């Protein structure tokens, strides 16, 4: 098999597998909540007073 094609297919398979694994292993919702807490913004908040803008 052409080495370029072999490499491209490997990289493509690896990226798909890695992102699927990360789907299962990384709790995005929790990470986002932590980040917003650090930024003092809570998920779902829309009022400027709750964002400290009032």
Tell me which residues touch other proteins (CB under 8 A): 3-4, 6-7, 10-11, 13-15, 17-19, 21-23, 25-26, 28-29, 31-32, 34-36, 38-41, 43, 45-48, 51-53
Alpha helices in 1-54 (DSSP H): 3-25, 28-38
Closest approach, Cβ 5 to other proteins, in A, equals 10
Q: What's the distance, CA 11 to chain centroid?
A: 20
Closest approach, Cβ 36 to other proteins, in A, equals 7
């Amino acid at each position: 098999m052409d080495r370029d094609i072999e490499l491209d297919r490997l990289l493509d398979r690896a990226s798909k597998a890695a992102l699927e694994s990360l789907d299962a292993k990384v709790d995005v919702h929790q990470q986002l909540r932590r980040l917003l807490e650090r930024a003092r913004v809570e998920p779902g908040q829309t009022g400027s007073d709750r964002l400290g803008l009032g």
